[in-house]
Amino acid sequence: MAETSYMARFGARLVTNGYAILPIGPGTKKPGRFQRGAWTDYPEWNRHAERPTTEVEVTTWSAWPECGIGIVGGAVAAVDIDIVEDPELALQIEQLARQRLGDTPALRIGRAPKRMLIYRTAAPFRGIKHHPLEVLCLGQQFLAYADHPDTCAPYVWPEEGLADLDITDLPEITTETAAAFLDEAYALLPESLRQRGFSAMSPAAEHLRSHNQVGTRPAIQAALEWLPNLELDYDSWMRVGMALKGALGEAGKDLFTDWSAQAAKDVPATTAKAWTSFKPDRIGAGTIYHLAMERGWQPDASLRLDGSMACDGKHPAAGLLSRLDGHPEEGVETPASSPFTLEMPDGLVGDLTDYMLSTARRPQPLLSLGASLCAIGALMGRQYRTESNLRSNLYVVGIADSGSGKNHAREIINEVFFEAGLAHHLGGNKIASGAGLLTALHRQPAILFQIDEFGMFLAAAADRRRSPRHITEILDNMTELYTAAGGIFLGAEYANRDGSNERRDIVQPCLCVYGTTTPLHFWGALQGANVVDGSLARFLILPSDEDYPDENIAVGIRQAPQALIHGLQGVAAGGGHQKGNLAGKTADQNTTVNPTIVPMTDEARARFKALSAELTEELRAAAGTAFTAILARIGENALKLALIVAVGRDPAKPEIDLSVADWAIDFVRHYARQTMEAVERHVADTETEAHLKRLKEVIRAAGANGITKSEITRAVDCR
C-alpha cells in the first residue's frame, strides 16, 4: 500500500535531515517513476543532484505504491564494500574505513557480508572504483530504504539509519582521503579478488568510440597515471598498447615501453615486438581517456584531448565559444555573481504560493510566486506606498511550455478572490483595446488582469505595422500606467460637443498584469525596440526552470484555508487604516486616496542605497546598449516586491526590513540578468539576425560534444 511504502514512512524525515532523495522502483536498485499504473525507468534522475528535494516531490512519491528510497550522491558519499566471499575481510575493511575516514554511525547492510558506510563530503567529487571496492558520490546513488532485489528483505541499518541522522552527524571526507583509503584497502585484497584487467567499454560510453582516434601526449600521459600496469592480463595489456599507438602513432612507443615495464613480468623484447605488430584502425585516445575516467581521472581544463586539431595559440573561435558557454574570454573581467536559490517569502505571499503548490497537479513554484505577488499587489493598490511613493503595481510574465501546469495559479487566484468577496479586483481574461483597459481601470482603479497566451497578445500589441491602433494602444497605456501609479493618469481628449465623451482621469491607478506564455511565443513576439523603449523592462520575466515537474496525482477537491481568505481581506482593507466608506473606492478625484506609508529600517535603506550605486556603475558600463532600460528598472522593481512582501507579513504595521530587502534585490537581479541573456539569445529585428541567433542556439545545445556541419543544417532546417 502507498501509505506504508518506505517513501511515505521515511521520505520527509530524510529531506528534513538534509539528504537529496530519489524514488526507487520495487524490487530494483535503480530510480523509477510510477506512471499510468506501472513503474518505469527514471533516466532524468540526475537532475535531483543539482537541487534539494522539494516537499511536493516527497508528497507525490509517497503516493506511489511500494516506493523505495535512494540517496543522491554529492553531499554524501558511500563506501561500498562489495565482498561476499570473505566475511572477515569485509569486516576488516570496514574497520579500516572507520579508522581512516571516521567512525560513522551510518552502516547499511543489504546482502551480508557486503556492507556500506555513509559519509558527508567536504565538496562533491566523482566516484572512485577499485573493484570490488568503491566510493559512490557525484552522479551516483545508493539505496537507503528498500527491499534488496536478491534477498527480498529490507536493507538493514544496524546502528542508526539516515532517517534518524542529520547530515551534519556524519564524518566529513574529501576526494583525497577517499582515494587514499581505497588504495590502502585494495592492498589488503588477495590476488583472487583483485581486478587484473580492464573491463570492456560499457554501452553508456559507446559515444567515446566516435572520439577522434588521435590524442595529445600531455593528455595521454596524464591518463596513463590512472592506469597502473599491476600485472595486467594479456588482453588488457594489448588493448592499452593498441590504444596508445592509435592515439600517438610511433611517438607513443616510449610511453608504452615505460608503462609495460611497471610489471615485474615485462620482457622488453616482447614489448617491442608487440608494438611493431600493432595496427590499430579505430581504437585510440578515446579508449585511454575512458579507462582513466572510470578510475577517477578528471582531465585538467588546460589539457587538449583531441590531437587531430592544430592549436597554435588562441582558438580562432574563442570569442564565440566563450559567449556560447557563458564563460568570458581570457583577459575579460565580468562581475562575479553568486548562485541563486529560489526562496519563498513568508507572510501572505508565501501562504498563497504554498496553497497554489499544494493543490497543483504539476507544481510550478516560480510561476506561482509571480502570480501571488501580482494578486496581493492588486489588492493593496492605493492602500500602501513606500517612503519614495512607489506602489505595488506589477507586470509579471510566467514562461513555461504547454501542459506544464502554468494555468493553475490563475485558477487559484480567481477562486480565492471570489470566496473572499474581492472579485471586483479581477479584470477580464482578455483586453480587447486600449480604451477597454482604461474603462476597466476607471471602474476599479486597483485591478488584476490575468492573461493566458500572453506571447500572442504581445505579438499583436507590439506590431505597429500590422496591428490596428486600438490593439497597439494597450501596450502604450500599460507603459504609461506603470509610472502613473503614484499620481494622476490623465485621460485622452476627444473632439466632442455634447459632453458625452469627456476626458476621464484616474487617480493613483494600480494595474497589475500576470501573463503566462510559452518561450517560443514570448521571445518571438519581441523586437529590439521593445527592449530599448522600456516596454520589456517594466515586466518581471520568470521562466520556469522545470517545464514538466513530477505530477501530483493525489490532488482533488480543494478548499482555501480561512486564514488565507482573512489575510487577503485584511490587505484589501488596508490593514484597518483607511477611514470612510468611499475612501479610495473610485477612480476620480471625488474621493480621498491616502495610502499608508510603509517605513524602511536603516539597514534596508542602506541596502537599497548600495544597490543604487551598483546599478549606476553598471548603467555607465552598458551605455549605448539595449540593456540600460532593464538595468534602470531593477531598483524600482525590487522595492515594489519588498513593499508587497512587507505588507503581506503584517498589513496593520508593515515594515521593510533587511531580510525583505535582500530577498527582493536578489530575486529581481537574478531574473533581470536572465532576461538580458535571453534577449541577447532570442530577440531579433531582422530575419538575418533571427537566423544567426537560431544557429548559435543549435551550437550551444550541442555543448562540449560538438556538432557537424550536416547536423547543423538539419537542425536549422527543422526549426
Q: Write the pLDDT tens digit of every residue in 597-624.
A: 999 999 999 999 999 999 998 888 877 7
Q: Comparing C-alpha atoms, which of 651, 618, 12 is closest to residue 351?
A: 651
Judge if 2-187 and 347-493+504-576 fold alike in CATH terms.
Answer: no
Left (φ > 0), alpha (ψ -120 to 50) or beta: where does 386 sit?
A: beta
> Cβ neighbours of residue 313 under 8 Å, at least 6 residues apart?
none
CA distance 454 to 397: 8
pLDDT at residue 674 is higher than 60: yes
pLDDT band at 53 (very low <50, low <70, confident <90, very high): confident
CB-based contacts of 553, cutoff 8 Å, min separation 6: 60, 63, 361
**Which of 316-325, 428-437, 582-591, 636-645 is predicted most confidently?**
636-645
207 vs 557: CA distance, rounded Å: 49
Q: Report domain extents, the chain.
A: 2-187, 205-312, 347-493+504-576, 687-717
Place of cell 540593456: 627
Instruction: Indicate if the pLDDT at residue 255 is higher than 80.
Output: yes
**In this predicted structure, what is the pLDDT of residue 532?**
54
Asked if residue 329 has pLDDT above 80, the reply is no
pLDDT beyond 50 at 581: no
The residue that leads in pLDDT, 236 or 190, is: 190
CATH number of 347-493+504-576: 3.40.50.300
Residue 584 predicted with pLDDT over 70: no
Q: Average pLDDT of 147-169?
A: 92
Cα separation, 357 vs 346, whole angstroms: 15
| pLDDT bucket at 587, cuts 50 / 70 / 90 | low
Strands (DSSP E) along 133-286, which ranges?
133-136, 141-145, 172-173
210, pLDDT greater than 80 = no
pLDDT of residue 289: 87
Among the ranges given (244-248, 375-379, 533-537), the one the predictor scored with the smallest mean pLDDT? 533-537
What percent of the chain lies above the pLDDT cut of 70? 85
pLDDT at residue 335, rounded to an integer = 42
CB count in 10 Å sphere of residue 243 = 28
pLDDT value, residue 9: 93
Q: Could you tell me where the beta strands, DSSP code E, fall in 437-492?
A: 446-451, 488-489
For 15-32, how does the pLDDT look when each residue is reduced to its tens digit (9 = 90+)? Answer: 999 999 999 999 888 899
Q: What does the pLDDT look like over 384-427, one tens digit per residue?
A: 999 999 999 999 999 888 888 888 999 999 999 999 999 999 99
Cα 702 off chain centre by = 19
Provide the pLDDT confidence category of residue 336 given band limits of 50, 70 and 90.
very low
Poorest-pLDDT segment among 116-120, 286-290, 335-339: 335-339
- Alpha-carbon span 345 to 668, nearest angstrom: 14
Which ranges of 25-104 does DSSP label H, i.e. alpha helix? 55-62, 87-101
Q: If residue 40 lies in a helix (H) or strand (E), which one and from where to where?
A: strand 38-41
Query: Are residues 485 and 637 in contact, defined by beta-carbon separation less than 8 angstroms?
Result: no
Looking at residue 465, its pLDDT comes to: 76
DSSP 105-165: S-EEBSSTT-EEEEEEESS--B-EEETTEEEE-BT-EEEEESB-TTT-SB-B-SS--GGGS
Contact 575, 648 (CB under 8 A): no
Please tell me the distance from the alpha carbon of residue 666 to that of residue 117, in angstroms, as a whole number.
39
What is the average pLDDT value for the chain, to the nearest integer? 83
Q: Are strands 115-121 and 172-173 parallel, antiparallel or unpaired?
A: parallel
For residue 643, with 0-12 CB atoms within 10 Å meaning exposed, 13-18 middle and 19 or more buried, which class applies?
Answer: buried
Average pLDDT over residues 193-202: 54
* pLDDT at residue 717, rounded to an integer: 61
Give the per-residue pLDDT at 330.
45
pLDDT surpassing 60 at residue 539: yes
Instruction: Report pLDDT for 74.
Output: 92
Quick check: 8 pLDDT over 60? yes
**What CATH code would you report for 2-187?**
3.30.2250
The string of pLDDT tens digits covering residues 458-472 is: 878 777 778 888 888
- Per-residue pLDDT, averaged over 89-97, amounts to 95
**DSSP of 330-391, one letter per residue?**
TT--------------SHHHHHHHHHHHHT-SS--HHHHHHHHHHHHHHHTTTTEEETT---
Q: 337 pLDDT band (50/70/90 cuts)?
A: very low
- The residues near 363 (Cβ < 8 Å, ≥ 6 apart) are 54, 56, 356, 357, 405, 549, 552
> What pLDDT score does 577 carry?
63
- Does the N-terminal peptide bond of residue 31 adopt cis geometry, omega within 30 degrees of 0? no
Nearest CA among 4, 40, 3 for reference residue 23: 40
User: What does residue 171 show for φ and ψ, rounded to 5 degrees?
Assistant: -65, 150
Q: How far apart are the first and last CA of the chain?
A: 46
Q: How far is CA 557 from CA 361, 478, 541, in A?
A: 12, 36, 31
pLDDT tier, 135 (very low <50, low <70, confident <90, very high otherwise): very high
